[in-house]
């Protein structure tokens, strides 16, 4: 087997003293020293959230403070990592919202499994689940990273309801049922 020997050209005086490299490093350092600081003091200062950002999924209530979720479980079925768990519950017959079929007894989202895909928001027929601009979810244990129904409503708050479905259903029930025609 033949051994190939490569010839290296000898280093110049400047290259042997590393002066060009030292001067280049000092130029970069001086350039950054004269620039204004770009460090953000998180969490007091937060970056601007871009349009279309998909944050943490939360539950929302209508303007009257009523639950929008009727536990149809579509979001649970469509969730790719199976991060959503819903336990359907019944609504009492003497409740003002008795005309609604069901309400969630328990609604849990495991944020360690959630991939922020937004399918739950897209599939929800009642507009009860929304992706909020929450991006700093932290916890010390796995259990603390599961958002329960109360946590989800606290994070989601109230959003305007363009359909007013509760009021229409209530009016239809008061006027003797639905009108066909």
Question: Domains of the chain, with CATH numbers?
Answer: 57-168 (3.30.70.3270)
Closest by alpha carbon to 29, among 21, 40, 18? Answer: 21
pLDDT the model gives residue 82: 96
* H-helix or E-strand spanning residue 13: helix 13-17
Q: pTM for this structure? A: 0.66
Please state the rounded mean pLDDT for residues 46-55. 86
Closest by alpha carbon to 87, among 147, 149, 129? Answer: 149
pLDDT the model gives residue 30: 93
Coil, strand or helix at 99: coil
Please say if the pLDDT value at position 143 is more than 90. yes
Please say if the pLDDT value at position 76 is more than 60. yes
Residue 172: which residues within 8 A CB-CB, separation 6 or more?
A: 178, 179
Judge whether 122 and 114 are in contact, CB under 8 Å. Answer: no
Round to whole Å and give the CA distance between 158 and 61. 5
pLDDT the model gives residue 180: 46
Judge whether 51 and 62 are in contact, CB under 8 Å. Answer: no
């Amino acid at each position: 087997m033949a051994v190939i020997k490569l010839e290296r050209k000898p280093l110049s005086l400047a290259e042997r003293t590393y002066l060009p490299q030292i001067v280049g490093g000092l130029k970069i350092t001086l350039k950054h020293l004269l620039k204004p600081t770009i460090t953000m003091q998180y969490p007091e200062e937060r970056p601007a959230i871009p349009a279309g950002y998909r944050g943490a999924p939360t539950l929302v209530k209508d303007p009257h403070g009523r639950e929008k979720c009727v536990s149809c479980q579509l979001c649970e079925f469509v969730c790719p990592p199976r991060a959503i768990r819903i336990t359907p519950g019944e609504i009492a017959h003497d409740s003002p919202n008795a005309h609604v079929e069901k309400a969630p007894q328990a609604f849990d989202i495991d944020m360690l499994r959630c991939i922020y895909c937004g399918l739950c928001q897209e599939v929800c027929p009642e507009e009860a689940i929304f992706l909020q601009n929450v991006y700093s979810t932290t916890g010390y244990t796995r259990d603390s990273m599961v958002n329960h129904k109360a946590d989800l409503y606290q994070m989601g708050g109230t959003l305007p309801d363009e359909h007013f479905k509760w009021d229409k259903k209530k009016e239809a029930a008061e006027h003797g049922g639905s009108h066909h025609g």
